[in-house]
Amino acid sequence: MAVKVTRQPWGSAEGEAVWLFDLEAEGLRASVSNYGGVIQSLRVLGEGRDMDVVLGYDTLEEYRRSDTFFGAMIGPLADRVAGGTCTLDGRTARLPLNAGPDASHCGDRGFHCRAWSWREEADGLCLFADLDEAATGLPGVLSVRLRYRLIAPYTLRLEYAAECTRQTAVSLTNHSYFTLNGGRGDCRDHRLTLRTERFAETERESDPICTGRTLPVAGTPLDFREATRIGDAVDRRDFSEIARAGGVDHYFPVAGAGLREFALLRCEESGLSLRCRSDAPGLLVYTANGLEAERGKGGAIYGRNWGVCLETERFPNGVNLPDWRGGVLLEPGERFTSATEFEFCWE
């Protein structure tokens, strides 16, 4: 499929040039920056319509000041790491604490807050870097590649790859806040379907973190096996998992292997739907519980539940959980790979 790639300067960060790349093909126009791998906008086109379906900011400086992780590349370890510590290569690695007692998305050592090298490709964009312990806080040198590809009408594909020189841990994802009403209001009326039977249990009344156990979704507000209104789930404060997270902020293992469907998100108002496919072992669903009067693109004010994140990743805090540690460890000579596709459809 023919993909048009153009770029424009977007400022600088730590002395590195920052660009905003426009990738355009049938049905989609993605604006991606080499700063944090941010998907700054994702416009779904067709039938006389043009809708931006991700939350974000207009300027680079807003991304640099923000702690929302709008649209960013997340890693080396997505989600929370308990106490900001983990044992790798026989010693304790420490990450900055930025989520109560824990590190979330590796704090200011995360991939979301650095300018990446880049290369335009025939069907998209490749970002890459070789990062040492001073950059990541984890042992050795980590070589990371991330490709943004428009592979079919209305379909964006993200491809992750990583290699290391010493034992480390890797779980990469994208943190786009999807809004199928174009950011004109909250997503409480969006309907979500998940191809999963279980969710990851959390503990602690504040700053909840995964215990390592999984529980059946049946009979809980986290049962999305049938299309469920987002608002009906996030309002169930009588359910302790929802209450402590302030809404949905949970990991769902997805059975099977290889590229398979994880989620279907649909907005009846706009007639737009999003299918998420991945070869990851599961995804974290976050309903933007922490957004409050956040000024975004075009002066829009984003509030609670204004977006839905579908973060395909390894088990959160897996590096510290015996049953899940093997899924996030990366050894020298091994190669981490993963792919996720987002396909849109007008109905």
DSSP code of 58?
A: S
For residue 172, give the nearest of 259, 241, 78, 91 by alpha carbon. Answer: 78
Task: Indicate which residue of 105, 175, 190, 250 is catalytic.
Answer: 175
**142 touches 130 (CB < 8 A):** yes
Q: Which residue in this structure is represented by tokens 């420490």?
A: 94
At 294, list the tokens: 């956040």
**23 touches 32 (CB < 8 A):** yes
* Span 173-202, pLDDT tens digits: 999 999 999 999 999 999 999 999 999 999
Rounded mean pLDDT for each run of 10 residues along the chain, 347 residues in total: 95 96 97 98 92 98 97 98 97 96 96 97 97 96 98 97 98 98 97 98 94 98 98 97 97 98 97 98 98 96 98 98 97 98 96
Task: Indicate which residue of 163, 241, 294, 311 is catalytic.
Answer: 311
Domains of the chain and any CATH numbers: 4-346 (2.70.98.10)
**154 touches 274 (CB < 8 A):** no
- Whole-model pTM over 0.95: yes
pLDDT of residue 48: 84
Q: How far apart are CA 283 and CA 253, in angstroms?
A: 7
- Give pairs for 120-125: CB < 8 Å, separation 24+: 120/5, 120/7, 120/21, 121/5, 121/147, 121/149, 122/3, 123/1, 123/3, 123/25, 123/149, 123/150, 123/151, 124/3, 124/5, 124/23, 124/148, 124/149, 124/150, 125/5, 125/21, 125/23, 125/32
Q: How far apart are CA 13 and CA 208, in angstroms?
A: 33
pLDDT of residue 46: 87
Active site residue 175: yes
pLDDT of residue 338: 98
What is the chain's mean pLDDT, rounded? 97
* Span 116-166, pLDDT tens digits: 999 999 999 999 999 999 999 999 999 999 999 999 999 999 999 999 999
Q: What's the half-sphere exposure (Cβ side, CA atoms, 13 Å) at 221?
A: 21
Q: What's the half-sphere exposure (Cβ side, CA atoms, 13 Å) at 163?
A: 6
Work out the percent of the chain whose per-residue pLDDT is above 90: 97
3-state secondary structure 125-171: EEEEEEECHHHHCCCCCEEEEEEEEEEECCEEEEEEEEEECCCEECE
Active site residue 105: no
